[in-house]
Amino acid sequence: MIRSEVLKTIIPIISDRLVVCNIGLPSQELHMLDDQPSNFYMLGTMGLASSIGLGLALAQRDKVIAIDGDGSVLTNFGTLPTIANNVADNFILLIIDNGSYGSTGDQPTYAGGKTSLTAVARACGCENVVECQAEDTAEVMKQALDSNKMTIIVSKCESGNVKVPVIDMDPVVIKYRFMQEVQSRNPD
Amino acid sequence: MSVNQKIVSDLINNGIEFVTTVPCKQLAGVIDEIERSEEIYHIPSNKEDEGMGLCAGAFMGGKRSAIIMQNTAIGVTINTLVTLIQYYHIPLPMLISYRGELGEPVACQVEMAVHTKALLAQLNIPTYHFHAAGDVEELDAILKHCFISKKPVAILTDASFWKGA
């Protein structure tokens, strides 16, 4: 199972949730499969999906799912201690770990080698870290949403991409409709 | 009121509730004041680009945010400033210690100081330089300017400013 197939299996569960999605193919795939005002697509800045997601979760009450990749987490490793030490029980970080930099041509990452992001997240102090196989991601996501506990999911999947169009929506439009959606979920 | 209290009170009066920091010796007092504040959620970050991600998320969640960091961080965050903060029109006050100016004891800091204003100018980031103690009086107006314009704004605070404050 490759990343786009993992996304397909979790869409029924996350479609109406606030989602911050990683730059490149993950955002393009989510946009193609299930564009929603509750999706924030990153068009630039590799590595910051988990940071944006945590900031959003700490600032308001609704549940937030950040969809990240192994390469992006490796590029912003400092995010894991920050997440561990600033617990937001409305935050789920899903790391789709295909062991490669998918958007740039599937070059291998160290997460596909000796480095376990699950072990790193635990060593950083994150308390609920679940590693699963790609096929089980939807079930694990459902459990994480039900648990009301900050959870990090590391979904191990195969490397590979599907053809997707780029996102031509203006960044300010993505932000505006997302913020309207956030606001509507946080009545005073 | 100390200068640190004045800065934090201006942040609070402008509705800022979420502040991320990466420490610098010159900023130690203001960071302590942020940590003591009950109105502000203080979240230290490990790197300034990570901090800008946190601030962007908090802003979209309805909380005004700010970052406190050293000028060396301009070198770290150019891509984030351009492709996240500016591209999505996110207001971000950046209170920056301007190391490497007159009175600097560490020679290496001068190397980044000579690039700081040029980089900010290249990025079209509104930049204010606090050199004399009284310059802090402009902070309130600068913060208001930042939020109406939805831009990152740099406030450079040099050693003379902190010495006189």
CATH number of domain containing A16: 3.40.50.970
Q: What DSSP element (H or E) covers B162? A: helix B159-164
Q: Determine the structural domain holding residue A59 and report its residue range.
A: 3-184
> Which chain A positions have a beta carbon within 8 Å of B49's beta carbon?
45, 47-48, 76
B49–A175 CB contact, under 8 Å: no
* Per-position b or e across A156-167, b if 16+ CB within 10 A of its CB: bbebebeebeeb
**Which chain B residue lies closest to A76 (C-alpha atoms)?**
B50
Q: What DSSP element (H or E) covers A107? A: strand A107-108
Each residue of A138-154: pLDDT tens digit? 999 999 999 999 999 99
CATH homologous superfamily for B3-159? Thiamin diphosphate (ThDP)-binding fold, Pyr/PP domains (3.40.50.970)
Distance of CA A42 to the CA centre of its chain: 11
What single-letter amino acid sits at A113? G
Q: Structure tokens of A112?
A: 């596909």
**Shortest CA gap B7–chain A (Å):** 22
Partners of residue A21 on adjacent β-strands: A41, A67
Distance of CA B120 to the CA centre of its chain: 13
pTM exceeds cut of 0.90: yes
Does the model's ipTM exceed the 0.95 cut? yes
Each residue of A113-142: pLDDT tens digit? 999 999 999 999 999 999 999 999 999 999
- What integer best gives the mean pLDDT of chain B? 97
Q: Residue B94, by phi and psi: left (phi above 0), alpha (psi -120 to 50) or beta?
A: beta
Beta-sheet pairing, B16-21 with B64-70:
parallel
Which residues 18-37 in chain B show a CB within 8 A of chain A? 18
- What integer best gives the mean pLDDT of chain A? 97
Per-residue pLDDT of chain A (188 residues; tens, 9 = 90+): 999 999 999 999 999 999 999 999 999 999 999 999 999 999 999 999 999 999 999 999 999 999 999 999 999 999 999 999 999 999 999 999 999 999 899 999 999 999 999 999 999 999 999 999 999 999 999 999 999 999 999 999 999 999 999 999 999 999 999 999 999 999 98
- Region B81-107 average pLDDT: 97
Query: Over 80: is that where the pLDDT of B26 sits?
Result: yes
Q: Break chain B into its structural domains and give their ranges.
A: 3-159
> Which chain A positions have a beta carbon within 8 Å of B57's beta carbon?
20, 51-59
pLDDT of residue B164: 87
Give, as one character, the DSSP assignment of residue A149.
Answer: S
**Shortest CA gap B151–chain A (Å):** 13
Name which of A48, A172, A178 is nearest B60 (Cβ-Cβ): A178
**Shortest CA gap A142–chain B (Å):** 23
> Which chain A positions have a beta carbon within 8 Å of B90's beta carbon?
175
Query: Over 90: is that where the pLDDT of B119 sits?
Result: yes
**φ, ψ for residue A156, nearest 5 deg:** -85, 115
> Which chain B positions have a beta carbon within 8 Å of A179's beta carbon?
60, 62
> What total number of domains does chain A contain?
1
**Rounded to whole angstroms, how far apart are CA atoms A93 and A144?**
10
Tell me which residue of B80, B58, B42 sits closest to A48, measured CA to CA. Answer: B80
> Which chain B positions have a beta carbon within 8 Å of A58's beta carbon?
18, 41, 43, 54, 57-58, 61
pLDDT > 70: percent of chain B: 100
pLDDT of residue B10: 98
Tell me which residue of A139, A15, A114, A116 sits closest to A67, measured CA to CA. Answer: A15
**Rounded to whole angstroms, how far apart are CA atoms B55 and B40?**
13
Interacting residues of A121 by C-beta distance below 8 A, sequence separation 6+: A80, A84, A129, A152, A154
Given a contact cutoff of 8 angstroms between Cβ atoms, the answer to whether A70 and A3 are in contact is no
Query: Over 80: is that where the pLDDT of B165 sits?
Result: no
A55–B90 CB contact, under 8 Å: no
CA A112, A8, B88, B34 torsion-angle sign = negative
Name which of A55, A82, A172 is nearest B61 (Cβ-Cβ): A55
Q: Vertex A22, ends A128 and A127: CA angle to 5°?
A: 10
Q: Which residue has the tokens 């920091």?
A: B21
Residues of chain A with a CB closer than 8 angstroms to some CB in chain B:
20, 40, 42-45, 47-60, 76, 78-79, 81-82, 86, 171-172, 174-175, 178-179, 182-183, 186
Q: What DSSP element (H or E) covers B18? A: strand B16-21
> Which chain B positions have a beta carbon within 8 Å of A175's beta carbon?
60, 88-90
